[in-house]
Amino acid sequence: MLSFFKKDKTGPIEAFAPITGKAVDLSNVPDPAFADKLMGQGIAIEPHEGKVHAPFDGKIAQLFKTKHAMLIEHSSGIQVLIHVGVDTVSLKGEGFTAHVATGDKIKQGQLLLEFDIAQIQAAGYPVITPFIVPDGQDAVKGVTEQLGDVIAGQQQVLTIQR
């Protein structure tokens, strides 16, 4: 088998902040599915700007058609979810501009998505953004979170043990 088909299966995955803002515990998200970690472990970011950047090199496993959320896959096969705001699926894509599509290869720090914070808040939705490692991935042995002020692409916020 050629080496470029091999998946990277060693060591922890370092995931950098996808959004500039304040990284907080998931319990701050006003949605029990995230707050109670029913969907997975991770953090939430209170955004200071409406830009989502790639947390690591990988690919877009799925960009939801409403552009409010995306699954990003690391070369190891492990996926993370970035879900902009709470109940923002109801906006049907309004206020969101995607710069990538499902299947696109991405580089850590690359701009993936822009969102209009004021428009989302004016529609009555919180912009706090969960960034999680969805449950059900056998390769994930644990997740360590880092909280505090973060700049997209500069601070590591999740360490995914595998």
Catalytically annotated residues: 83
Handedness of CA 26, 154, 21, 128 (dihedral sign): negative
Report the C-alpha gap between 71 and 82 in whole angstroms.
7
**What SS3 state is found at 65?**
coil
**What SS3 state is found at 149?**
strand
Edge-to-edge order in the sheet of strand 51-53:
51-53, 111-115, 96-98
